[in-house]
């Protein structure tokens, strides 16, 4: 791509000039316009996006839309959805959106009928789920499986973990005897807890790894395999051998069937996905097996349908009404023109406890880049530092910094409009709905206070310095009609597409992650030094001292 850097274009320069004016404008001044709330509110796929508390005006948005047109965002959206090779560094498509296409859709990419392959995998996954829910999947001793442990890391862990927690209310009756658990840490601490409590006869492990070489996941998988073999084979349970244990207690999910077979996963227990699915975009397919085990395949398909509804909106809505585009442009405005480099995700619903962690990977692994598509170093900021927590808990943790600290932070407030309508007991329902109203009141009050500062408080007289609130902190509010499989699917897809639009504007590739590769390589070399006690002479002084500290500790424990 031979073109001028984005920050040298006329559209960017006009935004820079406009930003000088907006930096001195307080949000309270913008809200003199009574129509502002509705003017910056959009709806799609069961979501309502309120951008009125962003520090921008109609003129700002028009200039940002000009910037989006200048980098051909509409054409890039179509390229993504049509399966063009938008992942240029790896020369392949990024077709996570194909994982949620309906079965009647048509999409041929590089000569492959993508849709038929996707639904063949979904059907195979559905068969596995049905067997487990019906207690027909039995361990090596003939007992039904009750505990399923997903061994994965990154996208193979964060997505399924987040969704299973968020949608646990949607567990069907026939799934209640199957408990799903997650182990991702390479130190084994999560897995060790399970191995002390679970019965090996009734435990199934799902090894989820795109490459099937991820050291974190395979180290846990080897420990799980050794545990099963020791308890079921070496202890001499009659009729149980290693082949039976591997066949009845392991499922593999990967883009590498040969590596799964080499490891010992039976072909019948292999679920495949494709190289054109990035790990952090993969929950929609076979990596979503733990999700389907918790909420059932019918609800899993609703999750896909909600994401597809957002895909359709993304493809068809004009830029000025397009939720992912608008959310992306708000981020571009804050990072590149208002110099706000911190972004907090604040869900006001306990079911979304893991959503911030999920977005941390989605956004920072995708857009934490400093080289353009053609290899130039960027001369502007890209992805902000993103973090978050459940809003009600965060109020007692880091809201002090948001309201009175020295760092500007933009916040996303997320909440469902309705909850607890289906609780049968009337008294309990009334109490829980009152708690939901209290939660929404806190959500709306915090965004109002961040916006207005002291002006939100009806209190006459001068306030001492330690009680002053400066306000003028921008925020976005995202409301779900209800938290359902469909609206959660739409919410996740909204952020996926936001990431893509921002990457298009920053001229970076959101679908590779070379920044994590070199650290893995160096870790392998360092592990060999730790084991062999030599080769460290070439290391820096700090690393040598750390290695020697480990060896001393090992020597003391051996005595």
Q: List residues with catalytic annotation.
A: 365, 396, 520
| Rounded distance between C-alpha atoms, residue 492 and residue 298, angstroms | 19
CA separation, residue 478 to residues 42, 324, 432 (Å) = 10, 12, 22
Neighbouring C-beta atoms of residue 377, cutoff 10 Å: 8
Neighbouring C-beta atoms of residue 21, cutoff 10 Å: 11
| CB neighbour list of residue 92: distance below 8 Å, 6 or more residues apart | 85, 275, 276
Is the Cβ–Cβ distance between 99 and 84 less than 8 Å?
no
Q: Which pair of structure tokens corresponds to residue 28?
A: 């309270």
| Rounded distance between C-alpha atoms, residue 401 and residue 386, angstroms | 15
| Rounded distance between C-alpha atoms, residue 143 and residue 443, angstroms | 48
SS3 81: helix
Strand 475-480 and strand 47-50: pairing? antiparallel
Element (H, E) at 130: helix 114-133
CA gyration radius, the chain? 26
Neighbouring C-beta atoms of residue 36, cutoff 10 Å: 16
Going 318 to 324 to 330 to 332, the CA torsion angle's sign is: negative
Where do the DSSP E strands lie in 434-516? Answer: 475-480
Q: Which residue has the tokens 């001393």?
A: 552
Is the Cβ–Cβ distance between 6 and 505 less than 8 Å?
yes
* Closest C-alpha among 295, 291, 292 to residue 173: 295
Q: Which pair of structure tokens corresponds to residue 22?
A: 């907006």
For 325-334, give one letter per residue: b (16+ CB within 10 A) or e: bbbbbbbbbb
Which residues pair with residue 179 across a beta bridge?
A: 147
Which residues pair with residue 410 across a beta bridge?
A: 343
Going 321 to 327 to 333 to 334, the CA torsion angle's sign is: positive
Where do the DSSP E strands lie in 217-340? Answer: 250-254, 270-272
Q: At what angle do helices 485-506 and 155-166 cross, to 10 degrees?
A: 140
Where do the DSSP E strands lie in 363-483? Answer: 385-388, 410-416, 475-480
* Closest C-alpha among 490, 469, 468 to residue 479: 490
| Rounded distance between C-alpha atoms, residue 20 and residue 42, angstroms | 27
CA end-to-end span of the chain: 62
| Rounded distance between C-alpha atoms, residue 377 and residue 369, angstroms | 9
Q: Which residue has the tokens 């590596």?
A: 259
């Amino acid at each position: 791509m031979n073109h001028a850097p984005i920050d040298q274009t006329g559209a960017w320069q006009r935004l820079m000039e406009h930003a000088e004016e907006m930096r001195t404008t307080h949000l309270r001044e913008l809200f003199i316009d009574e129509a502002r709330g509705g003017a910056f509110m959009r709806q799609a796929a069961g979501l309502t996006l309120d951008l009125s508390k962003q520090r921008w005006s109609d003129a700002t948005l028009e200039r940002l839309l000009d910037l989006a047109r200048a980098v051909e965002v509409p054409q890039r959206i179509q390229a993504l959805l049509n399966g063009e090779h938008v992942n240029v560094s790896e020369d392949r498509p990024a077709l996570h959106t194909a994982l949620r296409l309906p079965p009647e859709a048509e999409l041929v990419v590089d000569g492959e009928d993508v849709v038929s392959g996707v639904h063949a995998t979904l059907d195979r996954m559905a068969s596995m789920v049905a067997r487990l829910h019906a207690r027909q999947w039995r361990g090596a001793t003939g007992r039904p499986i009750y505990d399923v442990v997903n061994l994965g890391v990154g996208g193979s862990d964060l997505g399924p973990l987040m969704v299973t927690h968020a949608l646990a209310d949607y567990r069907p009756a026939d799934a209640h005897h199957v408990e799903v658990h997650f182990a991702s840490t390479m130190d084994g601490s999560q897995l060790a807890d399970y191995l002390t409590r679970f019965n090996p006869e009734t435990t199934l492990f799902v090894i989820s790894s795109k490459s099937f070489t991820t050291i974190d996941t395979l180290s846990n998988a080897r420990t799980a395999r050794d545990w099963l073999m020791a308890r079921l084979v070496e202890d001499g349970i009659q009729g149980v051998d290693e082949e039976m244990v591997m066949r009845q207690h392991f499922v593999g999910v990967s883009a590498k069937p040969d590596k799964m077979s080499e490891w010992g996963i039976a072909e019948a227990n292999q679920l495949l996905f494709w190289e054109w699915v990035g790990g952090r975009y993969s929950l929609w397919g076979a990596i979503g097996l733990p999700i389907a085990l918790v909420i059932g395949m019918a609800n899993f398909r609703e999750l896909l349908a909600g994401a597809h509804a957002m895909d359709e909106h993304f493809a068809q809505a004009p830029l000025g009404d397009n939720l992912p585009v608008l959310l992306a442009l708000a981020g571009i405005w804050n990072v590149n023109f208002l110099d706000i480099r911190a972004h907090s995700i604040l869900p006001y619903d306990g079911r979304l406890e893991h959503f911030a962690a999920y977005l941390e990977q989605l956004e920072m692994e995708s857009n934490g880049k400093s080289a353009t598509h053609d290899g130039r170093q960027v001369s502007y900021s890209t992805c902000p530092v993103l973090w978050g927590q459940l809003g009600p808990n965060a109020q007692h943790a880091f809201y002090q910094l948001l309201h009175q600290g020295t760092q500007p932070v933009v916040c996303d407030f997320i909440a469902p409009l309705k909850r607890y309508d289906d609780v049968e007991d009337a008294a309990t329902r009334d109490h829980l709905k009152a708690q939901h109203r209290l939660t929404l009141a806190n959500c709306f009050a915090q965004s109002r206070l961040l916006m207005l500062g002291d002006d939100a408080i009806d209190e006459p007289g001068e306030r001492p310095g330690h009680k002053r609130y400066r306000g003028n902190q921008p925020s976005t509010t995202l409301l779900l009609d209800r938290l359902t499989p469909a609206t959660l699917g739409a919410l996740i897809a909204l952020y996926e597409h936001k990431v893509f639009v921002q990457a298009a504007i920053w001229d970076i590739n959101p679908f590779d992650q070379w920044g994590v590769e070199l650290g893995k390589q160096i870790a392998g070399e360092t592990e060999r030094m730790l084991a062999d006690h030599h080769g460290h002479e070439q290391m820096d002084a700090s690393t040598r001292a750390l290695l020697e500290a480990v060896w001393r500790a090992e020597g003391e424990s051996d005595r």
